[in-house]
Amino acid sequence: MSMQGVSGEDRSTLSKDESKRLRRRSFALLLDIVKPHRRRFIATMVVVVFSVGMQVAGPALIAAGIDRGLPAAQQGDFTPLWLIVGGFLITGFGAAALLSVYTKWSIAISQDIMHELRLRIFAHTQRLSMSFHEKYTSGRIIARQTSDISTLGELLNGGVGNLVQGVLFMAFTTGALLLLDPWSALPLVGAILPVVAATWWFSIASRREFRNSRTFSARLIIQFVESMAGIRAVKSFRREAINEETYAEKVEDYREATRRTIAIFGIYDPMLKVIGSITVAVVLLAGAFRVLEGGIEIGVLLAAVLYTRNFFSPIENLAMFYNSFQSASAALEKISGVLEETPALEDPAQPEAFSSTTGAVSFSGVSFSYNDGVEVLPRFDLDIPGGQIVALVGATGAGKSTVAKLVARFYDPSEGTVTLDGRELPTIADQDLRRSVVLVTQEAYMFSGSVSENIRLGKPDASFAEVQKAARAVGAHDFIEALPEGYDTDVNKRGGRLSAGQRQLVSFARAFIADPRVLILDEATASLDIPSERLVQHGLKTLLADRTAIIIAHRLSTVDIADRILVMENGRIVEDGSPAELRSGEGRFASLHSAWMDSLV
């Protein structure tokens, strides 16, 4: 499966300009989402500055306690000691209280940001056109909504806070040390070089592993989703063993990448500890000599040792931030990639209200190809007067469904125009078009909910009486009444599971209640057995009465209710006439029809 393409899944193949563009796009998205929260963001930063400041005051207060408080106490004056100990407690409690405020606020901001992103991704992907969904698999969309969002969440919830706190902590610690005893800061300066070198190595070594582990985990999700979505095919072709094998390979890749990441930590962590210990040792030793010489007081030495030791504690977090920043920016690139996709079908800028009256459909000079560029319809012309019932027949792959989808505007033609009532489809607002044209396919998808809710999909404000009337009209009422809870039966619960034929009838009721001017049935009776189809024949007449209809069907019995038959071959109409004319002729329909009649006896 290809992981490449649309949204920068594989950055190794990207040019510099492209990487830059991706980064700019991610940043713009981030800015856009953070902007409404900027006041709270600034307030949170102020809180963290004070919290870290109070934490860093600790060792200095300890030094004061030892060097000032203690001698005074030896003289019988306990006041300085009490004051200093009191100050120590107050800063300690203050730092803790502010930390709790900070945590609460920052989590609230990051949750708001993720909430917003989740909604945006969902709404946006739903709006994108069919051609997007054909090239962007559902597994990848799910990876965007799950693992990418949670990676970003990790950064926002922990990473950013660690970065800000860590940097402030190190800066304040260095500042305090310089104020207290600049000479003791010297070993720290000496430690900078090895720390930077170790961190540099770490970030380079871990970057690839982190990226790998993220890519591998996304692949796991994708393969999982695709195997489960295609579970019927998996079972009927006994693909389980092969799938398990490929999945096992992917799981192994993931484990290996994670193992390597952890191995890198296993080197980096001890390196930091060693550098830290040496630095502390140098401060202690040099300080001890200076205490002996009377250069500094013992409390100052203690504080210098504490500061030096503390200085190293956030470094690992900072290196981690770098990683989680890397992963999150990769995730953000992909998310912003999806959000950047524009629906291929633009709504008109200033749509005039439209409601189809005649239902006349016309193709003129239409050429069309799917994403792959192979021309499916070459210069297609067709006029369907309002109210006509047209049957479209022809071999599989002839282009019948493509014609249907162009009328429903799932796609726009590459050349030429499709019109409804003489208006070009792109000039009609999407919601108006949906009200005027309904396409019913064999798929007959049922959403979770009751049967009546599924019918009401065609007209959300329909009354129960209307729902029943629609079901009666298409011959679905009887079987619905026989369900455990009738119209209220949940289609996902035991006993509510509908057969393919029953789902088809529900989808007819849905179309009936929507009452469109133009109705297209694409193999919509294919799941029905012959008796049910007979039943539906009657319903179909009611369903099709007074509208323009395009029926695509294999069973030629369905075709008999048509006023006109079009035979398609390789994207062209090769025969056009009334059922009687074509049956009695010598053409393709006549031979199809006689073959069909033969098959019945």
CB of 545 to Mg ion, least distance (A): 25
CA dist 295 → 137, 279, 291, 300, 521 (Å): 71, 20, 6, 10, 95
* Phi and psi torsions of 397, nearest 5°: 90, 0
Nearer to ligand ADP, 221 or 574 (CB): 574
Nearer to ligand ADP, 377 or 438 (CB): 377
CB of 264 to Mg ion, least distance (A): 53
5: helix, coil or strand? coil
Binding site partner of 50, from ligand ADP, Mg ion, none, Cβ cut-off 5-8 A by kind? none
Instruction: Name residues whose C-beta falls within 8 Å of residue 596's C-beta, 6 or more positions apart in sequence.
Output: 556
Which range of residues in 183-191, 395-403, 504-512, 553-561 is near Mg ion by CB under 5 A? 395-403
Residue 329 has which token pair? Answer: 């920016």
| C-alpha of 600 from chain center | 50
Nearer to Mg ion, 181 or 522 (CB): 522
Binding site partner of 402, from Mg ion, ligand ADP, none, Cβ cut-off 5-8 A by kind? ligand ADP
**Contact predicate 128/343, CB 8 Å:** yes
Which range of residues in 76-84, 199-207, 285-293, 400-408 is near Mg ion by CB under 5 A? 400-408
Strand 389-394 relative to strand 375-384, pairing: unpaired
CB of 144 to ligand ADP, least distance (A): 22
Candidate list 217, 261, 401, 527; residue touching Mg ion; CB under 5 A: 401
Q: Does 184 bind ligand ADP (CB under 6 A)?
A: no
CA distance 287 to 300: 9
CA distance 56 to 69: 19
Nearer to ligand ADP, 129 or 557 (CB): 129
The pattern of x and - marking residues 345 through 384 that bind ligand ADP according to CB under 6 A reads: -------------------------x-x---x--------
- Residue nearest to Mg ion according to CB distances in the complex: 401
CB of 141 to ligand ADP, least distance (A): 17
By CB under 6 A, the residues from 380 to 439 that bind ligand ADP are 394, 396-402
Nearer to Mg ion, 139 or 571 (CB): 571
Residue 482 has which token pair? Answer: 């026989």
CB of 526 to Mg ion, least distance (A): 10
By CB under 5 A, the residues from 212 to 241 that bind Mg ion are none
Binding site partner of 376, from ligand ADP, Mg ion, none, Cβ cut-off 5-8 A by kind? ligand ADP
Angle at which helix 38-64 crosses helix 79-127, to 10 degrees, equals 150
| Side chain identity, residue 274 | V
**Contact predicate 325/155, CB 8 Å:** yes
**Contact predicate 34/160, CB 8 Å:** no
Residue 23 has which token pair? Answer: 């980064």
CB of 380 to ligand ADP, least distance (A): 11
Residue 485 has which token pair? Answer: 């809870």
CB of 133 to ligand ADP, least distance (A): 10
Instruction: Name residues whose C-beta falls within 8 Å of residue 117's C-beta, 6 or more positions apart in sequence.
Output: 33, 149, 152, 335
Binding site partner of 579, from ligand ADP, Mg ion, none, Cβ cut-off 5-8 A by kind? none
CA distance 442 to 429: 26
CB of 520 to Mg ion, least distance (A): 11
Which range of residues in 20-28, 44-52, 124-132, 399-407 is near Mg ion by CB under 5 A? 399-407
Binding site partner of 222, from Mg ion, ligand ADP, none, Cβ cut-off 5-8 A by kind? none
Question: Of 355, 348, 510, 540, which is closest to residue 439 (Cα–Cα)?
Answer: 510
Binding site partner of 389, from Mg ion, ligand ADP, none, Cβ cut-off 5-8 A by kind? none
**Paired strand residues for 438:** 519
Question: Of 379, 185, 331, 193, which is closest to residue 271 (Cα–Cα)?
Answer: 193
Residue 585 has which token pair? Answer: 């002729």
CB of 393 to Mg ion, least distance (A): 11
CA dist 104 → 97, 101, 138, 371 (Å): 11, 5, 35, 48
Tell me the number of residues near Mg ion by CB under 5 A: 1
Binding site partner of 134, from Mg ion, ligand ADP, none, Cβ cut-off 5-8 A by kind? ligand ADP
CB of 129 to ligand ADP, least distance (A): 12
Residue 288 has which token pair? Answer: 């001890």
Nearer to Mg ion, 418 or 535 (CB): 418
| C-alpha of 491 from chain center | 27
**Contact predicate 593/573, CB 8 Å:** no
Tell me the number of residues near ligand ADP by CB under 6 A: 12
Nearer to ligand ADP, 243 or 367 (CB): 367
CB of 125 to ligand ADP, least distance (A): 17
Binding site partner of 293, from Mg ion, ligand ADP, none, Cβ cut-off 5-8 A by kind? none
By CB under 6 A, the residues from 119 to 138 that bind ligand ADP are 134
**Which positions lie near ligand ADP, rule CB under 6 A?**
134, 370, 372, 376, 394, 396-402
**Which positions lie near Mg ion, rule CB under 5 A?**
401
